[in-house]
């Protein structure tokens, strides 16, 4: 299939079409990478597969619409600031609040399950997914809710490449987030997180508060989910804003995680980009093939995931589980 895509890329629409597909693929991949990063950080630090990640992303996006559009916090206290700044501040408040919600979720539902099988904890997050998703849907009245973002549908041209402001913002925020994470994992707290990810008991014996690490991991994970949710609901891609579909959209970050390997940060970024680019390329180049029908691009991530898993059962960068009797 990959060969076919490349072959058609050359024949159909030429370089222009190819470079634009690549650009928007990277932008979409950046959203997936943000979601996948949050997921992987939670998994690495706490051994929890967070099925509620998509729901948290949608909740974060909804909170932006609440703070920026409904109540206008903090905009109403700083009317002098430009609108863009006001929106960014609202988004930050929403992201922080989502992080707080992540901490609460960890404390209330995940902490009592320490030591239980992975599967049981994963099922807890499935329950959380139902709860958060339903309440978020109800909050936004089951319909599309605009985020009041300043990006709009405006585009910028770099040679043949046209990119939306929202896409550029997505990519740059993802880069900043990755750099921040690289820095964070070198700080004292970050080292504690890494130690806990490596071996919880040994970390505890070294005087690391594992509970605190869990809270930090969930805060970071939820914040990244919120960022992913926000960027999937702005610009041309999310022109309608956050919808009941946003949570399901975020489900497509799971293939990205699996392709990269459940416990690999690098994998999350690479997987996100692979999935994003594959999806956009499928939409661009395979959209004209009628027998593929509607929505083929939407399942490309899943197909890619199965393909990768058949070749590398632990993803591209995942650690192979050592099986002992």
Partner 1 sequence: MRGRPNLYTRYDSEMGLFPSTTKKVSIALLAVIAVLAPLAALPFFGFLGDGSWLVLVNKALIFAVCALGLNLLTGVAGQVSLGHSFFMAVGAYTAVVLGGEAGKTVWGLGLPMWVWLPAAGVVAALVGIFVAPTAFKVRGLYLAFVTLGLVFIGQYLWRNLGKVAGGPTTGRPWPELEFALWRNMDPIISFTSDGELWWWLKPINLLPWVQVEEMSGEVKTYFFVLVAVAIFAVMAKNLMRTRIGRSWAAIRDRDIAAEVMGVADAKAKTQAFAISSFYAGLGGALFASVVGRIIPETWDIFLSVEFVAIILIGGAGTIAGTLLGTFFVVLTPRIVENVTGFLATQAEDGGAFSWLGSIFVRSSGDDWIGIVSYPDAAGPGLSVAQLNIVLFGVLIIVFLIAEPLGLYGIWLRIRNYWKGWPFTY
Cβ closest to partner 1, residue 240 vs residue 303: 303
Number of neighbouring beta carbons within 10 Å of residue 284: 22
Distance of alpha carbon 30 from alpha carbon 37, whole angstroms: 10
Residues at the site binding partner 1, with contacts judged by CB under 8 A = 49, 109, 112-113, 116, 118-120, 122-124, 126-131, 134-135, 137-138, 251, 254-255, 258, 262, 292-296, 298-299, 302-303, 305-306, 309-310, 313-315, 321, 323-325
**What's the closest the beta carbon of residue 205 comes to partner 1, in angstroms?**
27
Secondary structure (3-state) at 163: strand
CB nearer to partner 1: pick between 195 and 197? 197
Min separation Cβ 254 and partner 1, Å: 6
CB of 325 to partner 1, least distance (A): 5
Is the distance from CB of 267 to CB of 41 less than 8 angstroms? no
Q: Report d(CA 120, CA 48) in Å as an integer.
A: 10
Give min distance, CB of 1 to partner 1, in A: 14
Which of residues 123 and 236 has its CB atom nearest to partner 1 in the complex? Answer: 123
Minimum CB separation from partner 1 for residue 68, in Å?
20
Tell me the C-alpha distance between 149 and 167, whole Å.
13
Cα dist from 251 to 69, 195, 217, 284, 293, whole Å:
26, 29, 20, 21, 21
Does residue 261 contact residue 314 with C-beta atoms inside 8 Å?
A: yes
Tell me if 33 sits within 8 A of 309, measured CB to CB. Answer: no
Name the phi and psi angles at 4, rounded to 5.
-60, -40
Tokens of 40: 């992987």
Cβ of residue 310: shortest distance to partner 1, in angstroms? 6
CB 262 within 8 A of CB 315: yes
Measure Cα distances from 111 to 27, 48, 114, 194, 202 in Å: 35, 11, 6, 19, 19
Say if residue 56 is exposed, middle or buried (CB neighbours under 10 Å; 0-12, 13-18, 19+): buried
Q: Contact 29/269 with Cβ under 8 angstroms?
A: no
For the CB of residue 66, give the shortest distance to partner 1 in the complex, in Å. Answer: 13
**Which structure tokens are listed for 258?**
């699996």
Question: At closest approach, how far in Å is the CB of 137 from partner 1?
Answer: 7
């Amino acid at each position: 299939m990959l060969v076919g895509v490349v072959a058609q890329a050359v024949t159909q629409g030429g370089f222009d079409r190819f470079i634009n597909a690549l650009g928007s693929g990277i932008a979409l991949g950046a959203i997936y990478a943000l979601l996948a990063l949050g997921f992987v950080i939670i998994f690495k630090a706490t051994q929890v597969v967070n099925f509620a990640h998509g729901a948290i992303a949608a909740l974060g996006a909804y909170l932006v619409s609440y703070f920026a559009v409904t109540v206008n916090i903090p905009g109403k206290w700083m009317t002098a600031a430009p609108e863009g700044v006001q929106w960014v501040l609202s988004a930050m408040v929403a992201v922080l609040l989502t992080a707080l919600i992540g901490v609460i979720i960890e404390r209330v539902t995940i902490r009592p399950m320490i030591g239980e099988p992975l599967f049981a904890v994963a099922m807890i997050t499935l329950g959380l997914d139902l709860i958060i998703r339903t309440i978020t849907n109800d909050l936004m009245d089951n319909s599309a809710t605009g985020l009041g973002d300043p990006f709009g549908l405006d585009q910028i041209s770099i040679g043949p490449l046209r990119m939306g402001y929202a896409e550029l913002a997505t990519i740059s925020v993802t880069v900043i987030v990755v750099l921040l994470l690289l820095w964070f994992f070198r700080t004292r707290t970050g080292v504690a997180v890494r130690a806990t990810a490596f071996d919880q008991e040994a970390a505890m014996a070294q005087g690391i508060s594992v509970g605190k690490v869990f809270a930090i991991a969930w805060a970071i994970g939820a914040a990244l989910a919120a960022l992913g949710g926000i960027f999937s609901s702005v610009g041309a891609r999310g022109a309608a804003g956050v919808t009941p579909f946003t949570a399901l959209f975020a489900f497509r970050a799971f293939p990205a995680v699996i392709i990269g390997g459940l416990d690999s940060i690098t994998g999350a970024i690479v997987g996100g980009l692979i999935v994003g680019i594959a999806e956009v390329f499928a939409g661009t180049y395979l959209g004209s093939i009628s027998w593929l029908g509607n929505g083929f691009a939407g399942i490309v991530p899943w197909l890619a995931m199965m393909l990768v898993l058949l070749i590398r059962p632990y993803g591209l960068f995942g650690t192979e589980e050592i099986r002992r009797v």
